[in-house]
Amino acid sequence: MKYFEDFVVGEEFECGAYEVTADEIVAFARQYDPQPFHLDQAAADASVFGGLTASGFHTVAMQGALINASPEADAAIVAGLGWDEVRFAHPVWAGDTLSVRFTCLEVRASASKPDRGVVRTSVVLRNQDGQDVLSSVHNLLLKRRPTTPEV
């Protein structure tokens, strides 16, 4: 478990390898984002994307799944405070294999809650060709390392 004090500005790590399937793209879109270019191969081929692509919502969900499955991302998070600079840079296609890269941008102790601190991280989801498909800055509220009472 990583606490607030364990984060170092400039620290980076990568995690995950998740292969996206056409069936998954369609199932997600059917329930959450029923656009023709997410649901139907022929409509997708005729769209500006030129093929079946994952919804942006689906892309965010896959990023979340990769983060939550990573032992490197096991942190004492109290709450997510929000995302900044969210960018969908490249479509996610069926057959893509996705991974996540984290970079710690900032750490600051909370002025009002001495048992907590805020960590800002750059989070980039990439495909197998190294293309960024989703990037954002995550603002996280973390627990500080518990202190042991003196004997």
Number of alpha helices (DSSP H) and beta strands (DSSP E) in the chain: 4, 5
Strands 12-19 and 97-109: antiparallel
Residue 22: helix, strand or coil by DSSP?
helix
The amino acid occupying position 49 is F
**CA–CA distance, 101 with 13 (Å, rounded to integer):** 6
**pLDDT tens digits, one per residue of 25-79:** 999 999 999 999 999 999 999 999 999 999 999 999 999 999 888 877 789 999 9
What does the pLDDT read at residue 16?
A: 86
Closest to 17 in 3D by CA, of 78, 66, 86, 72:
66
| Residue percentage of the chain with pLDDT more than 70 | 97
Half-sphere exposure (CA, 13 Å, Cβ side) for 107? 15
Q: What is the DSSP string of 29-51?
A: HHHH---HHHH-HHHHHTSTTSS
* pTM greater than the 0.85 cutoff: yes
For position 122, what pLDDT does the model report? 97
Sorted by where each starts, the structural domains of the chain and their CATH numbers stand as: 4-143 (3.10.129.10)
pLDDT at site 74: 85
